[in-house]
Amino acid sequence: MRIAVFASGSGSNFAAIMEAAKAGRLKNIEVALLVCDRPGALVIKRAEQESIPVFSFNPKEFTDKQAYEEMILEKLKDFQVDLIVLAGYMRLIGVTLLSSYSGRMINLHPSLLPAFTGKDAVGQALEYGVKVTGITVHFVDAGMDTGPIIAQKTVCVENGETKDSLSLKIQKMEHELLPEVIGWIADGRVELNGRKVEIR
């Protein structure tokens, strides 16, 4: 299975995917492309160090979302991408990509969805005062973090927890769960029926 990783920042989850692949924990997987909407992002350097092809773009240089998504779609076709993995990609996916990759696009979000969607999920959880938060890997649909849930893991919020300390705990768990889910999909173990996801 050929995957494209979409990322906007440092790329720690991209690095975790690459590490899992090199360690043999991700079999039948090839990272075919990195897509980044911030040309100066650290994730691009990570991809170049791994000799992974990169497509970076500045959305402000396009008339609208459809225009840059059409260009992304052409790249995905060129690299014969089977699965899109959103790993810290900070843009809502539009109809152009959704229509071509429905059921073949997953996202990682730092909360137990449906709680704390959108930006700053860690900060939202702390402000709300929850005792448990976590991470979610889900299929992508037209909403913001509303797609069918594939897997979740919990993280306890300790007394005196800060945004930095909680983010570190969440990130560590992300690096374990995201490659695992990609492996399930590559092995044909994930079945999507409406909003229900079954792991075989």
Q: Which residues are catalytic?
A: 109
Strands 54-56 and 30-36: parallel
Residue 168 class from Cβ within 10 Å (0-12 exposed, 13-18 middle, 19+ buried)?
Answer: exposed
Closest Cα to residue 88, out of 44, 22, 143, 151?
Answer: 44
